Structure 1
Amino acid sequence: LLKAKLNSGLSQPVSRSRLSLAFAFSHSIPLIRAHIRQLGFDTAPLQCGGSRDQLIEREQFSRRDVALRRAKRSGPEPPEFRESLMTGGPGLEGETSDERRSPGPLLDGHRLGRSEFKWNRDEGRGTSRGDDPKLSSTTFALTGDSAHNHAVVYWSGQNSSVILILTKLYDFHLGSVTESTLWRSTDYGSTYERMNDKVGSKTVLSYLYVCPSNKRKIMVLTDPEFESSVLISSDEGASYQKYRLSFYILSLLFHPTQEDWALAYSHDQKLYASMDFGRKWQLVHEHVNRFYWSVTGLDKESDLVHMEAHTPNGRIQYVTCQALTCSELNRNYPFPGYIDISSLVVQDDYMFIQVRLCLRRIYYTLSLYKSSNLSNHPIRCHQDLHIVSTDEHQVFAAVQEWNQNDTYNLYLSDTRGILFTLAMENVKTTRGLGGNQMLDLYEVAGIKGMLIANRRLDNQVKTYITYNKGRDWRLLQAPATDLAGNDIHCILPFCSLHLQLQTSENPYLSGSISTKASAPGIIVATGNIGSDLSYNNVGMFISSDAGNNWRQIFEEEHNVWFLDKGGALVAVKQPTVPTRHLQISFDEGRQWTRHSFSLVPLFVDGMLVEAGTENQIMTFFGHFSHRSEWQLIKIDYKSIFNRKCTEGDYQTWHLHNKGEPCVMGQKQIYMKRRPGNYCMLGKDYAKVLSAESCICRAHDFECDYGYERRREGNCLPAFWFNPAVISRSCSQGQNYLNSTGYRKVVSNNCIKGVKDMYTPRKQMCPNRAPKGLSLSTREGKLTTDLHTNVTFLVHLDEGDSMRTNIQLDFGDGTAVSYSNLSWIEEGIRHVYKTAGIFRVSALAENTLGFDTTTLYLHVTCPVEHVQLLAPFVAIKNKEVNLTAVVWPIHSRTVTYFWWLGNNTEPVISLDGSISYTFTSEGMNTATVQVSSANAILQDTKTIAVQEFFKSLLLSFSPNLDEYNPDVPEWRQDVGRVIKKALLQVSDQLLVAVFPGVPTAAELFLLPHKNQSEGRKKSEKELEQISEILASALNQNLVEFELKPGARVIVYITQLTLAPLVDSIPRHSSSAMLMLLSVVFLGLAVFLIYKFKRKIPWMNIYAEVNQEKEQEMIGSVSQSDSTPKTTLSEFSTPKEVMEKEMDARVKRKI
């Protein structure tokens, strides 16, 4: 309950476990309406489980906490142990007393218009047996709690006089509860005792939970900001035991039948289980997102837990296991593939999951643990789907089609929850106070198959009603007269009654529409008369005959509750204005008696009514002013009754639909109290007097799956449906049901009549050749990771599944064969051990023919490393080869993007090698990007492009090999030192050290940048420099100190000087062949990690000013007569990679 204005507060869906906190009646309510959120399947039953995305909202403690996760069909019957918020004074932020007194609810941030604001015009009307009689009431103020802004209320009502109230002060700045008080009443709320001393005077409490199977057992959680503990009570809160916890509880979920079993969900997504009512806890599973207890009657193990959990790779799976033995070996995966986050719903006989395939979602329903695709036609091309209800073994699904924005189509399933038919198009959605979308669909309590919906048609919203679960809909007939008795000229279909179908997000207020199972046929709702639904000039309307006829009862909005099993109605003005009166009607709203329940006008935040079986008690919660203390007013309304009802006080009422007595195949007769008789219904009151089956007629049947109703009323095949197709499960010698295009409305009880005409006919299964064979993966993707399970699904549209052989070739040299399709219903699993593109083919064959299909599967492995192999120096206008070596080695599953020179667009290839010609001199860059399995890596090299150059192959004294770690960074340092040893010509030198041992290098001599003196002179200069260097090298004059005491001598490998390499054809024949032989026979350099560092074992005394040069492949190889190094001694690219990896591991680089 909110002490501030409830109608203007924000709201968000609250977890189903949270809803179990506060208040419980002895009866529960069937569920019908759903908060529609972008994440699907937000409509799981309150008693079954919770989800992290909603449970986390529990910490907010804002006005959002009054929101219900699913709207209910009746205000006075909140689900068991629901938490609500009861306001305190100044703790709510951003609200003034003026705001509280503002009339009208808020919707989307704008206050709705209403009739002129009055105190209560309707209080003056109606008859009374006395002049404003006062009911017997007791007022109790929760002294000292005026600052508390939240409260949790619990009253079991099962002949118990105990009421528990937990009030608390939530600090919005600190984000935690700072104060709390626990109150307990043992006299139905006449007086309350402060229980803080019994739970610990300094203990700050946050939540109150009650066991649904034994309401004497209570758990209270402490606020984790102070301590993490749980207090348990087995005597309805009279005494408590405290137990410390090693984790912070975000939510609790009790077992539906075992009173000592509970699941606890922590802030870090861990799920714990206790089998001794919270005394000891054991970890069940980590990284849990949603969880549910076992389904009674379906799960063999009562301690089974259904979970939606994250895998180590971040995906989501549906997992089941027993609570105390949930090791990896004991876990089961009912759905073998991955599912969408926050999509698991376990509800009644069904489990629902959602799987996104590319740009669309596929929904599966696991009815009785048998998986079936929910996305059969006609709901295949949709944006969103939500499960609304699973009552009576039938699934209601709200589907947003591709062309819808704020409307949904309503579909109803068969009893298996698999095949869906359209029930109504364009059902309106209403955005709640917290931004949640709610489907404007309402199931009338007490009348099976009766629904009310708001439908948008031609930019108008109209209210429709059905008596046969959506088979037929009609508009509501407006009242004949208004409150003053004046005639209302409202002619169908141009004018009708339209109702607001929003049930209250505060469980203690009735909402805009209310019904009750114990008062069949009575509907109280807010609405308007006109051409379409309006939120202006609204009034309160009532129907006493299940929506056939309506009367107006108030001109302004009221909260209306049902008293005495629905035999009386009580109405109170909306909480935006204070009041001290309530009005009671004993004749189904025809006359109202005003009673005073308080001497001072009270802002009514909510009311608990008829919680007890024999005690006629209702309790108002509210406050006199914005800053006043909590006021609890207990009213014993037994005094308004003269006596208990006798047989003469009842009359019969026949349920009908505009005079048609057969509703859902039955003639139903109810027993009601005669209007105006002031007697109290007994506990043995039976509302249904008799139910007689009717003869079946056409309106008892709806269109079957694949059929659509046409204007003339007949059901004909939809354009996408082929009725001639026989299910592949139909085997020769067996029978199948051939649809007539109709199916009986679920839960319809008609007999005989046209039943045989519309019932599917039994026929023999023919022998058929396979047809419509299709092959797909479980996730619908054409790619999978290496060494992971991939599940293939084989589907056959036509053919005898029991007599059709299936062969599947995986394309990697392995194949399997099955004698019939029954062996592969759950899919065929396979693990690929090599990457590549595989042709997977399936063959279905029987004695009458065969069918084949093919799928091309990409098996990928993420690229870990990439190395670009390129010449260190290239000749202008001469083609060079560039090679990208990847690790691990891939086959046809890698895409290469080459960025060369100054090109603005890449060259794309599926091969790791390309040829390219550089046309401009100078330093050119070459970059390759490798894309595989959602991973992209790149490597870049700089290539010196010249018209001519000379090079020398170098070798070193053997002691250098002892210090060679064979990593690129070391080779870069050595090359830089060699270059530094030749300072006088360093600008024209480039040095590349080859990988591997023995250590070798290539020295490049480039022409001077300024070639204005002519090519011949430049060539002559290179010859001179080459001779000088060769002479120095041959005389062992070039050396460097690797570390103190370790000097290395540089030799020339060639016996004679290398020829000049240039772009003139006469030189290219020999020189370029030698260049390419070096480049592509394995002199690969693998830069595993691009970082610059100081080699710890190298001591360089010379000052180094230039940055480290990248490692490249030399352009000219040494001759066969080299004394120290031959080409055969160099490693292949793969060997180089392996050596380098080993070197890094050994040296921990």
Structure 2
Amino acid sequence: LLLYDYNLGSVTESSLWRSTDYGTTYEKLNDKVGLKTVLSYLYVCPTNKRKIMLVSDPEMESSVLISSDEGATYQKYRLGFLIQSMLFHPHQEDWILAFGQDQKLYSSNDFGRRWQLVLERITPNRFYWSVTGLDKYPDLVHIEARDAEGHAMYITCRIHNCTGATSNKLFPGHIDHNSLVVQDDYVFAQVKGYIQVNCLVFPLSPFPSLDMHIISTDEKQVFSAVQEWNQNDTYNLYVSEAQGVYFTLALENVKSSRGPEGNVMIDLYEVAGIKGMFLVNKKVENQVKTFITYNKGRDWRLLGAPSTDVRGNDIHCLLPYCSLNLHLKVAQNPYTSGNIASKESAPGIIVASGNIGPELLVDEEERASSMFISSDGGNSWRQVFEEEHSILFLDQGGALVAIKHTPQPIKHMWLSFDAGNSWSKYSFTSVPLFVDGMLGEPGEDTLVMTVFGHLSHRSDWQLVKVDYRSIFSRRCTEKDLQAWELHNQGEACIMGENRVYRRRKPTAQCILRKKYIGAYTSVPCTCTDSDFECDYGYERHTDGRCLPAFWYNPSYVVKECSLGKSYLNSTGYRKVGSNNCTEGVREQYTAKHQQCPRKPPRGLHLVTSDGSLATELTRNVTFIVHLEEGDAPRTSLRMDFGDGTAVTYANLSSVEGGIQHTYKHGGVFRVVAKAQNSLGSNRGILFLHITCPVEHVHLTLPYVAITNQPVNLTVVVWPSKLGTLTYYWWLENKTEPVVTLEENVSFTFTREGMSSVTVQVSSGNSILQDVKSIAVFDYYRSLLLSFSPNLEDYNPDIPEWRQDLSKVIKRTLARVTGLPEEQMLAAVLPGLPTAAELHLLPHREDPEHRRSSADLDQICDMVISMLNQNQVQFELKPGIQVIISTAHLTLAPLVDSSPGHSGSALLMLLSLAFVGLAVFVIYKFKRKIPGINVYAQVHNEKEEEMINADTQIEVIPTVTQRDLITCPEEFTDAEVDKLHLGK
């Protein structure tokens, strides 16, 4: 027995106790596990109760203490990880899986003494041991793990060899997070409205579903609860056939609620000991009512109320307006009974809390709940208490113990030895006790129980042992047993058989032997309509017939049906799962074998394995092709991936696991799947976006612009083959961007001064930006500068050097001419020989002359004169003087937007510009400057480099952005040198 103090979310102190006489005496074991050791969990091996494992509190230390002698002695072992939960192997007593707080899964094959890593990035509590009869190896595990992007996937592997190379990914794509369930012979993984069962995929509903829970998988059948798109607090119940593949609706609008930890709880209870028997709370016109079924959801009915109350007063309750309604929440705490209880060892006995009336009382009204008991499998009920009680089954239901649910201290309990027909009151303690729970030792097959609680909220634990063995002086014999026939309102044929159980007589005061637990005999009965439910795709109408649903085509033939083979043609009915009836209408309702017809392919669906319409470049894309109808083995499939590649498969059945393809460049691709046989063809089309992360963005724009005249802004993106990009332009300090799908935009600046231009380029989840400044004036002058040849030996032709030289040019001209640096803009051009452009701007501090171009003409003439006279020079290093001179006027010797110019002046300017352009092109050609220079964006870069005044990037007409820039892997070293990625 492990006791601990829990304060502020952590264990502060613990104590370990052991009893070998059913709780009569206890021995404290703290000295055997370490006086300072704080324990948080106790595990008992399910296949060998002698083996016990204790886990230390992770905030104190990481260790386990192991006992092989029922807790008498312990050995301590240090761990390299913190255990969050453990799972024992169902057959191998020394094999354990442990989930760590680091989201990793570990395994041990020596009962926790040594551990090894199995896999990383595991979903909590979504790992399972191998299923006997389903898996080949006993050390195989089923795991829901996450990939690097956080997507969930279903993996199977052996615990000693679970690397990425050796693990098996049975499902080709991603699965919904926290959806993997391995239960009995079934494996479930939800995938956006589809369920994967034993590697099969099937549609659960014609409408999209929001959530799904597996209720039961026994008797080779799956019982599940599904929340449809139009439901909030209710679920629909579905039941499958034996294969667990095709589901049909069993009941709509079953009530649900949320647990303390936010988990969904379905108001459904499977009665222990009687197969096919369920109780549910169904919402009917905003009223919650309790229904019962004896044939796994084929038929449902309300519960009839007792005829009298606990005091013997008559109860007037007429169906369907009034019925017995029960709370169906099972206990989350193993030491309390919850709202309802039944035992496999006591078939037919059901104890539950509830109320009588038109609906179930919930929330605050639950305080008015009474306790009811049925000893005939839910056919009739008796009220036994007016308040809620915890019920404990002892000796296979031969003794029922009831303790009142109350926040007050109590000292009495109730005991029944006749299946709840009569109750006797007993005192279990002389001092009232705050009861926290009770436990049968070692289970329901004994007459010893322990009640534990506190005398006060500050006192230590109090344990009270209650031993009823002295009441029974002998063991039961055949004379103490009686036959009880299971029935439903008098109908004895249930699930296709008559079942007769052997139970103890209510008056027999004896201890029941284990060989009588759940013993019954069964005789098959003749099949009737009630033994058959509607098959997949069919719905039951008011007249009882099963007719096709509006979304189902009854002439549908599965795609696996190949010519020359046969298939089962449904009659609209199928036998209820685990039903054992014989003859009767069985032949009438059983599906008939028919020859597979020749049909053209129909309903070809093409999707990606994860349902996504976008993926990143170089990542494998898995396409799933699903054919609704047609001869799949005799149908070919051609996949055109839209990038110039295609593949053909002679047999469509061979691609059920998916078709993988890797795209080499980005874009939007039209993927076409075409299925074809001799009778026809069918196509499925998918538009897939392949995105490539943006690595570099370079904004090109004129360094100087004229007010009220359009300016072309262009962005160069690397790599170029990114598919569809989105460009966001923030211009002239506007708060809202201009959004385009093209890499260029034309904009007119209306205000003089320095203006910032920001462009952001978006590709998938990748966004990069570049920011440049542009000077906007009504007019300006531009000069092309050259330098003395001695500068060439010191030109490394890198952006940082050009930026520094631009600053030197401005400082030198300011010193020689007396002009302020703010009136000049200098940009050193890439390449050799060294050249630069100088832009002369209107003086901002002289409002009178700012709008006159005459002053700027005089300044330009003065600068040209000084340059031609070699008066402008600077010292590069001691003894090395560099002379700056003018080459010729550039493309825009004078740009003026004022209306005062004459036509002849404009004509002269145009002629001069044309001559300048010709000279400029010849000069450039002779200098053999590289065709283009692209500068990649880096963080914390220096002042923006000034390039050409009109473009800030040289453009060779035969080279386009698409031709020049490509994905990184397509560059050669020579091409990189040619592109000259500067920054």
Q: Provide TM-score, normalisation by structure 2.
A: 0.90
Which residue of the partner structure matches residue 302 of structure 1? 138
For residues 788-803 of structure 1, the aligned pairs below 5 Å read: 788-803=619-634
Verify: 1:260 aligned to 2:94, yes or no.
Answer: yes
- SS for the counterpart of 2:71 is coil
CA deviation vs aligned residue, 1:695-727 (integer Å, no higher than 9, x gap):
111111111111111111111111111112211
2:144 and 2:152 in contact (8 A); partners too: yes
> Shift in Å at residue 533 of structure 1?
0.7
- SS for the counterpart of 1:328 is coil
Verify: 1:940 aligned to 2:768, yes or no.
Answer: no
CA deviation vs aligned residue, 1:64-96 (integer Å, no higher than 9, x gap):
xxxxxxxxxxxxxxxxxxxxxxxxxxxxxxxxx
Verify: 1:1027 aligned to 2:861, yes or no.
Answer: yes
Which residue of the partner structure matches residue 667 of structure 2? 836
Q: Which shows bigger deviation, 543-552 or 1048-1057?
A: 1048-1057
For residues 719-798 of structure 1, the aligned pairs below 5 Å read: 719-798=550-629
Verify: 1:988 aligned to 2:817, yes or no.
Answer: no
Q: 1:695 to 1:848 in 2, by over 3 A?
A: same
Which residue of the partner structure matches residue 335 of structure 1? 171
Which residue of the partner structure matches residue 228 of structure 1? 62
> Shift in Å at residue 477 of structure 1?
0.6
Which residue of the partner structure matches residue 950 of structure 2? 1115
Aligned mates of 2:263, 2:753 — CA distance in 1: 64
Letter in 2 for 1:371: L
Match of 2:431 among 580, 595, 600: 600
Aligned mates of 1:1044, 1:187 — CA distance in 2: 103
> Shift in Å at residue 932 of structure 1?
0.7
2:701 and 2:951 in contact (8 A); partners too: no
1:199 and 1:240 in contact (8 A); partners too: yes
Q: 1:545 to 1:997 in 2, by over 3 A?
A: farther
Which residue of the partner structure matches residue 504 of structure 1? 331
- SS for the counterpart of 1:643 is coil
1:994 and 1:1083 in contact (8 A); partners too: no
Match of 1:481 among 289, 308, 321: 308
- SS for the counterpart of 1:510 is coil
Q: 1:1118 to 1:228 in 2, by over 3 A?
A: closer
1:703 and 1:741 in contact (8 A); partners too: yes
Which residue of the partner structure matches residue 1050 of structure 1? 884
Aligned mates of 1:957, 1:227 — CA distance in 2: 76
Aligned mates of 1:939, 1:362 — CA distance in 2: 43
Letter in 1 for 2:822: D
Which residue of the partner structure matches residue 811 of structure 1? 642
Which residue of the partner structure matches residue 376 of structure 1? 204
1:605 and 1:621 in contact (8 A); partners too: yes
2:701 and 2:952 in contact (8 A); partners too: no
Verify: 1:421 aligned to 2:234, yes or no.
Answer: no
For residues 35-114 of structure 1, the aligned pairs below 5 Å read: none
Letter in 2 for 1:327: T
For residues 954-973 of structure 1, the aligned pairs below 5 Å read: 954-956=785-787, 968=799, 970-973=801-804
Q: Which shows bigger deviation, 473-482 or 906-915?
A: 906-915
2:392 and 2:401 in contact (8 A); partners too: yes
Which residue of the partner structure matches residue 900 of structure 2? none
2:254 and 2:280 in contact (8 A); partners too: yes
> Shift in Å at residue 872 of structure 1?
0.7
Verify: 1:1002 aligned to 2:837, yes or no.
Answer: yes
> Shift in Å at residue 1110 of structure 1?
5.9
Which residue of the partner structure matches residue 685 of structure 1? 516
Letter in 2 for 1:372: V
CA deviation vs aligned residue, 1:991-1015 (integer Å, no higher than 9, x gap):
2233455543211112334786679
> Shift in Å at residue 420 of structure 1?
1.7
Letter in 2 for 1:1024: Q
Q: 1:1068 to 1:223 in 2, by over 3 A?
A: farther
Letter in 2 for 1:168: Y
Aligned mates of 2:610, 2:890 — CA distance in 1: 65
1:411 and 1:420 in contact (8 A); partners too: yes
> Shift in Å at residue 652 of structure 1?
1.1
Aligned mates of 1:1118, 1:686 — CA distance in 2: 90
Which residue of the partner structure matches residue 938 of structure 2? 1089
Q: 1:190 to 1:182 in 2, by over 3 A?
A: same
Letter in 1 for 2:201: S
Aligned mates of 1:1126, 1:416 — CA distance in 2: 69
- SS for the counterpart of 2:396 is helix
Letter in 2 for 1:1003: L
Verify: 1:632 aligned to 2:481, yes or no.
Answer: no
Aligned mates of 1:747, 1:975 — CA distance in 2: 89
Letter in 1 for 2:29: M
Q: Which shows bigger deviation, 912-921 or 252-261?
A: 912-921
Q: 1:1029 to 1:278 in 2, by over 3 A?
A: same
1:967 and 1:1140 in contact (8 A); partners too: no
Aligned mates of 2:133, 2:397 — CA distance in 1: 33
> Shift in Å at residue 822 of structure 1?
1.3
Aligned mates of 1:981, 1:596 — CA distance in 2: 107
1:1083 and 1:1130 in contact (8 A); partners too: no
Match of 2:276 among 427, 433, 449: 449
Match of 1:673 among 500, 504, 512: 504
1:1085 and 1:1112 in contact (8 A); partners too: no
Aligned mates of 1:269, 1:208 — CA distance in 2: 21
Aligned mates of 2:619, 2:218 — CA distance in 1: 40
Aligned mates of 2:609, 2:683 — CA distance in 1: 19
CA deviation vs aligned residue, 1:950-992 (integer Å, no higher than 9, x gap):
2122344566666666565554443233222233322221122
Which residue of the partner structure matches residue 88 of structure 1? none
Q: 1:429 to 1:1129 in 2, by over 3 A?
A: closer
Which residue of the partner structure matches residue 348 of structure 1? 184
Match of 1:569 among 400, 411, 421: 400
Aligned mates of 2:573, 2:43 — CA distance in 1: 48
Which residue of the partner structure matches residue 223 of structure 2? 396
Aligned mates of 1:660, 1:410 — CA distance in 2: 24
Aligned mates of 1:413, 1:1118 — CA distance in 2: 68
CA deviation vs aligned residue, 1:739-775 (integer Å, no higher than 9, x gap):
1111111111111111111111211111111222222
Match of 1:533 among 360, 368, 373: 360
Which residue of the partner structure matches residue 859 of structure 1? 690
Aligned mates of 2:940, 2:429 — CA distance in 1: 80
> Shift in Å at residue 669 of structure 1?
0.6
> Shift in Å at residue 807 of structure 1?
0.9
- SS for the counterpart of 2:137 is coil
Q: Which shows bigger deviation, 790-799 or 997-1006?
A: 997-1006
Q: 1:669 to 1:952 in 2, by over 3 A?
A: same
- SS for the counterpart of 1:471 is coil
1:665 and 1:696 in contact (8 A); partners too: yes
Which residue of the partner structure matches residue 294 of structure 2? 467
Q: Which shows bigger deviation, 290-299 or 539-548?
A: 290-299
2:255 and 2:283 in contact (8 A); partners too: yes
Q: 1:746 to 1:287 in 2, by over 3 A?
A: same
Whose RCO is larger (CA < 8 A, sep 6+)?
1
Q: Which shows bigger deviation, 559-568 or 519-528?
A: 559-568
> Shift in Å at residue 643 of structure 1?
2.4
Equivalent pairs, count = 953
1:1011 and 1:1018 in contact (8 A); partners too: no
CA deviation vs aligned residue, 1:1040-1083 (integer Å, no higher than 9, x gap):
456777765434343899732445864468749959999x9965
For residues 635-674 of structure 1, the aligned pairs below 5 Å read: 635-674=466-505
Letter in 2 for 1:315: H
Which residue of the partner structure matches residue 270 of structure 1? 104
Letter in 1 for 2:527: C
Q: Which shows bigger deviation, 596-605 or 447-456?
A: 596-605
Which residue of the partner structure matches residue 17 of structure 1? none
> Shift in Å at residue 684 of structure 1?
2.2
1:169 and 1:179 in contact (8 A); partners too: yes
Match of 1:281 among 111, 115, 119: 115
> Shift in Å at residue 659 of structure 1?
0.8
Which residue of the partner structure matches residue 900 of structure 1? 731
- SS for the counterpart of 2:41 is strand
Aligned mates of 2:505, 2:806 — CA distance in 1: 107
> Shift in Å at residue 580 of structure 1?
2.5
Aligned mates of 2:169, 2:66 — CA distance in 1: 35
- SS for the counterpart of 1:748 is coil
1:500 and 1:525 in contact (8 A); partners too: yes
Q: 1:313 to 1:480 in 2, by over 3 A?
A: closer
